[in-house]
A and B are shown apart, each in its own frame.
Chain A
Amino acid sequence: MDVLQIVAIGLMATVLIGVLKSQRPELAVLLSVAVGVILFLLVLGKIGSIVDIITDLATRAGISMVYLGTIMKIIGIAYIAEFGAQICRDAGEGAVATKIEFAAKILIMVLAVPIVVAVLQSLLKLLG
């Protein structure tokens, strides 16, 4: 039944934002952010179980938790940046959205450096 709640909130927000956009565009952006936060909070509790399953699978596969933690951080960064960029685009600020995405890409690359080095080391050992 959660999905019904989520869809209902989403539809109501869409209608309200559509009405507000013509009258008060600044409030429409705020409403969009608020609805995004509410929807995220609604599914926050369920994310824990997914993370548990992924952790369990990684343990079985013998993958270091450091790598898995990095991947989780990267996914989190990607989501946050995506949400932020979409909100900026909805508000008509495409330039800011592009900057957010750029910053997220840099952060993802920084976090990926240890993994890239580890892959490189493994391949060099394999060839050497």
Chain B
Amino acid sequence: MEVIRNLVQSLIIIIILAMFLEMLLPAGEMRKYVKMVMGLLVIIAVVQAVGTFARWSFEGELPAVVTNEGKGQLPEILEAGKKISAEQQDRGIEQYRRGLAQQITALVKLNQEIPVLDVEVSVQSDNGSSGFGQIKEIILAVAEDPAQADREPEGTVVVGEVSPVSVQVGRRVSPELTSTGSPQAVANMVDVLTNFYNLKPEQVKIIYR
């Protein structure tokens, strides 16, 4: 009984709606066209109401209307999305790089023999490459004068000319380049870093300042 009551109610509302819409129709040539479309709408509404009453699903999928609306906006939105994504990625890489540098600093400072001034990490930032996010190179700046490492944070010490030196595991380190820290300590540090980050020895470079 309740279902029939709902059906009748829906039909009455549909009829009132149709009447209301018909009042809105313009007079003249266009009237019959609009009336035809409105008639179709009323048919859909009635079929849906009857379908609900009979527990059938008559609701068809509404095909998309082809309009020019927003046609030109899509590429712009996609472009902006890519830009934002690239920016976020760059920020993420930078944060990751800084985090790694701090981690390596903490790691090398465990060895008191080597006074590390600065740590620079370069990371593979090319999104398309297979090794995206991997460590490309670690550059450790080590103080030639151990006392310099203590003074350096104050920012009053003038840093001398930097000569790049690469240290590799298994290779004998020349004693003149390592005025501070024993060659063994430096080799151990490089070994720790290469093992910890799964790097090749040539990826860890040491610069004496």
Contact = CB atoms under 8 A, between A and B. Distances in A.
Label chain B's interface by main secondary structure. Answer: helix
A67 B41 contact: yes
A126 B58 contact: yes
Label chain A's interface by main secondary structure. Answer: helix
B52 interface: yes
A84 to B, nearest CB: 11
B26 A67 contact: no
Interface in B33-75: 33-34, 36-38, 40-41, 43-45, 47-49, 51-52, 56-66
A108 to B, nearest CB: 5
Contacts, number: 126
Q: Which of A62, A79, A105 has the most CB of B within 10 A?
A: A62
Q: Report the interface size class on chain B.
A: 35 or more
B48 A57 contact: no
A63 B44 contact: yes
Q: Report the interface size class on chain A.
A: 35 or more
B30 A104 contact: yes
A118 B62 contact: yes
A49 interface: no
Interface stretch (A4-12, A13-21, A36-44, A68-76): A68-76
A95 to B, nearest CB: 14
B34 A75 contact: yes
Given A54-B21, A78-B30, A85-B29, A108 B37 contact: yes
B31 interface: yes
A57 B47 CA distance: 17
A122 B47 contact: yes
B37 A71 contact: yes
A115 B40 contact: yes
Given A117-B63, A122-B58, 16 more contacts: A54-B21, A61-B49, A63-B14, A66-B62, A75-B26, A78-B30, A82-B30, A86-B28, A104-B30, A108-B30, A112-B40, A115-B41, A118-B44, A118-B60, A122-B59, A125-B60
Interface of A: 50, 53-54, 57-58, 60-64, 66-68, 70-71, 74-75, 78-79, 81-82, 85-86, 101, 104-105, 108-123, 125-126
